């Protein structure tokens, strides 16, 4: 029995998120079906990030154990033809039998995409949150600085989430206007890299920075929101479709 590691990209639009559940089709269930079919044994992947319904990924990571004789780096070629075109194994390889993608320290990078145009661009509607009022990107970048560091992010954790601690470390927050992005008005991207994230944390950060961008409150308010440890003080949870899990880096 060997352990294999996959880098998985997907369009989250047509799925009920990563994790297998009884309410509908998930990325995990489709991967398990395709891997099981190709490898001829019952495969259960373990994913690094159990992304929500609608959230997209360029580089989620998953592992599984198998008796297969197919070389690790060839598994992606063997399995991709059996996946729908909105899920792709970008890379596969054999990995350490003890490697667990959730219990190993990592840096995760997410990007939240915003279309900042008066009338939403139809070809971007599934992959960005449309905000029709002008946003002040400099103010958003300023506000992002308060997020960086080790903080109790209770204000940025979905209510009802069961966690031992809401302290997390964010390494970097970058907010910029992407003029090259296709469409009429371009995009604003919020990129966040951190050592770990609470449930909905990036989407709540996005919703909060959007409020700063709209001028609802100044950048320094984000510091006060963090200190309050109060979810109701932060912004809305921005829609799932704007969120992309870009990459996961392990030490």
Minimum distance of a second copy from residue 182's CB (angstroms) = 7
Answer whether 3's CB lies under 8 Å from 63's CB. Answer: yes
CA–CA distance, 157 with 202 (Å, rounded to integer): 9
Answer whether 200's CB lies under 8 Å from 127's CB. Answer: no
Binding-site member from 33, 65, 86, 136 for a second copy (CB under 8 A) = 86
Angle between helices 137-147 and 201-214 (to 10 degrees): 140
Binding-site member from 29, 33, 36, 58 for a second copy (CB under 8 A) = 58
Residue 179 burial (C-beta neighbours within 10 Å; 0-12, 13-18, 19+)? exposed
120 binds a second copy per the rule CB under 8 A = yes
Task: Calculate the CA 221 to chain-centre distance.
Answer: 25
Please identify, among the stretches 102-110, 119-127, 206-214, 226-234, the one whose residues bind a second copy according to the rule CB under 8 A: 119-127
81 binds a second copy per the rule CB under 8 A = no
Place of tokens 């919020």: 190
Task: Calculate the CA 244 to chain-centre distance.
Answer: 5
CA–CA distance, 207 with 214 (Å, rounded to integer): 11
Is the four-CA dihedral 77, 82, 88, 92 of positive or negative sign?
negative
206 binds a second copy per the rule CB under 8 A = no
Residues acting as catalytic residues:
52
244 binds a second copy per the rule CB under 8 A = yes
* Binding track over 88-117 against a second copy, x by CB under 8 A: xxx--------------------x-x----
174 binds a second copy per the rule CB under 8 A = no
Nearer to a second copy, 219 or 242 (CB): 242
Minimum distance of a second copy from residue 179's CB (angstroms) = 8
Nearer to a second copy, 81 or 160 (CB): 81
239 binds a second copy per the rule CB under 8 A = no
* Residues that contact a second copy, how many (by CB under 8 A): 31
Nearer to a second copy, 123 or 165 (CB): 123
């Amino acid at each position: 029995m060997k352990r294999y590691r996959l880098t998985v990209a997907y369009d989250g639009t047509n799925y009920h998120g990563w994790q297998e559940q009884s309410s509908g089709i998930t990325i995990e269930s489709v991967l398990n079906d395709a891997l099981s079919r190709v490898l001829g044994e019952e495969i259960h992947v373990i994913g690094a990030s159990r992304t929500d319904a609608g959230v997209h990924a360029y580089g989620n990571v998953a592992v599984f154990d198998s008796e297969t004789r197919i070389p690790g780096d060839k598994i992606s070629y063997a399995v991709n033809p059996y996946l729908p075109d909105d899920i792709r194994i970008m890379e596969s390889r054999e990995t350490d039998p003890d490697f667990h993608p959730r219990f190993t320290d990592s840096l995760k990078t997410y990007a939240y995409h915003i279309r900042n145009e008066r009338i939403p661009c139809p070809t971007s509607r599934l992959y960005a949150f449309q905000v029709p009022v002008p946003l002040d990107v400099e103010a958003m970048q300023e506000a992002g600085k308060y997020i960086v560091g080790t903080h109790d992010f209770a204000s940025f954790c979905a209510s009802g989430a069961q966690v031992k601690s809401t302290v997390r470390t964010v390494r970097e927050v970058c907010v910029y206007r992407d003029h090259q992005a296709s469409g009429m008005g371009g995009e604003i991207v919020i990129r966040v890299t951190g050592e770990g994230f609470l449930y909905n944390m990036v989407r709540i950060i996005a919703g909060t920075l959007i409020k700063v961008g709209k001028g609802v409150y100044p950048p320094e308010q984000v510091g006060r929101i963090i200190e309050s440890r109060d979810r109701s003080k932060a912004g809305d949870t921005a829609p799932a479709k704007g969120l992309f899990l870009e990459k996961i880096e392990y030490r």
